[in-house]
């Protein structure tokens, strides 16, 4: 068997984070009595949030700073006089409630758990991921779930892989990471020296020059890849 361990990213790989984000932002805005306009507010937030998580990947901001700064920028852009830290806490409370899996996730994880050791490594905040992922219906299939805030380092830093795998005496050639982000999951796997599988359901153009070992457009394709490796 080529692979013994399969590492998954969580959000937008197994979990539908876009839905979680959409519902959480709506419910938070309504909590603060804001007349919510999804077309306007969600697009502004996503643009700001994507940029600030990239800053985290690049080491230009800490996760503690991120918690408040993204909402400081968001509320400032909209000229709303709401305390960013209070808004941020309310948003994370709503975000933690949203554990939505993609339709193929459960079947895939169940099948793979019979022949492989499974892990999750996710860039995220402990208070959010604790509920969304660690208490999800698929959590028990994973030997470990590593949340970046808990361990103090984020993908693509190879240290997060070292932490996740420190109890395993295993050849890196027997490890595969699966994720939707080229700059986080795939670059992280490359940095650590393991095979990578880019989950690209929307068939986005790869404009980063980052070369995954495999590219798949549906989760079901992963089963074929790992079974061929046996």
pLDDT value for 44: 98
Domain range holding 37?
Answer: 17-95
As for how many domains the chain has, the answer is 2
User: Mean pLDDT of all residues in the chain?
Assistant: 95
Which of the listed residues 95, 118, 133 is the one where a domain comes to its end? 95
Q: Are residues 34 and 86 part of one domain?
A: yes
Does residue 53 surpass a pLDDT of 70?
A: yes
Assess whether 16 carries a catalytic annotation: no
Query: 138 and 78 in one domain?
Result: no
Q: Within this chain, do residues 120 and 34 fall inside the same structural domain, yes or no?
A: no
Is residue 83 domain-shared with residue 112, that is, in the same domain? no
Q: Is the pLDDT of residue 227 over 90?
A: no
Same domain, 68 and 142: no
- Which of 4, 9, 27, 195 is flagged as catalytic? 9
Task: Write down the pLDDT at residue 230.
Answer: 62
Of 66, 95, 124, the last residue of a domain is: 95
Q: Do 111 and 143 fall into the same domain? A: yes
Asked whether residue 218 falls in the same domain as residue 107, the answer is: yes
Q: What is the pLDDT of residue 135?
A: 86
Q: What is the pLDDT of residues 125-161, one digit of tens each?
A: 898 998 899 989 999 999 999 999 999 999 999 999 9
Residues 220 and 142 in one domain: yes
CATH of the domain at 165: 3.40.50.1000
**pLDDT tens digits for range 112-134:** 999 999 999 999 989 899 889 99
The pLDDT-based confidence of 1 (bands split at 50, 70, 90) is low
Whichever domain contains 81, its CATH number is 1.10.150.240
pLDDT (mean) for 186-203 = 98
Q: Check whether residue 53 and residue 107 sit in a common domain.
A: no
The reported pLDDT for the residue numbered 175 is 97
Question: Looking at residue 229, what is its pLDDT?
Answer: 64
Q: What is the Cα–Cα distance from 69 to 55, expressed in whole angstroms?
A: 11
Quote the pLDDT of residue 131. Answer: 86
Q: What is the mean pLDDT of residues 77-94?
A: 96
Residue 15 reports pLDDT greater than 70: yes
């Amino acid at each position: 068997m080529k692979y013994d361990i399969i590492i998954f990213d969580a959000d937008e790989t197994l979990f539908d984070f876009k839905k979680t984000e959409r519902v959480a932002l709506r419910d938070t805005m309504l909590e603060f009595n804001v007349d919510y306009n999804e077309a306007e507010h969600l697009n502004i937030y996503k643009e700001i949030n994507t940029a600030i998580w990239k800053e985290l990947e690049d080491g230009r901001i800490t996760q503690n700073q991120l918690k408040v700064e993204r909402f400081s920028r968001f509320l400032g852009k909209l000229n709303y006089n709401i305390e960013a830290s209070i808004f941020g806490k309310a948003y994370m409370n709503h975000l933690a409630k949203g554990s939505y899996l993609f339709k193929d996730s459960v079947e895939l994880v169940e099948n793979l758990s019979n022949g492989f050791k499974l892990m999750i490594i996710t860039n995220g905040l402990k208070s959010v991921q604790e509920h969304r992922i660690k208490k999800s219906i698929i959590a028990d299939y994973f030997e470990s779930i590593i949340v970046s805030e808990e361990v103090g380092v984020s993908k693509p830093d190879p240290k997060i892989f070292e932490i996740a795998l420190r109890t395993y005496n295993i050849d890196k050639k027997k490890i595969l990471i699966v994720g939707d982000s080229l700059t986080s999951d795939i670059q992280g796997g490359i940095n650590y020296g393991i095979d990578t599988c880019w989950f690209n359901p929307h068939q986005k153009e790869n404009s980063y020059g980052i070369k995954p070992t495999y590219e798949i457009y549906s989760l079901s394709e992963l089963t074929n890849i790992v079974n061929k490796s046996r």
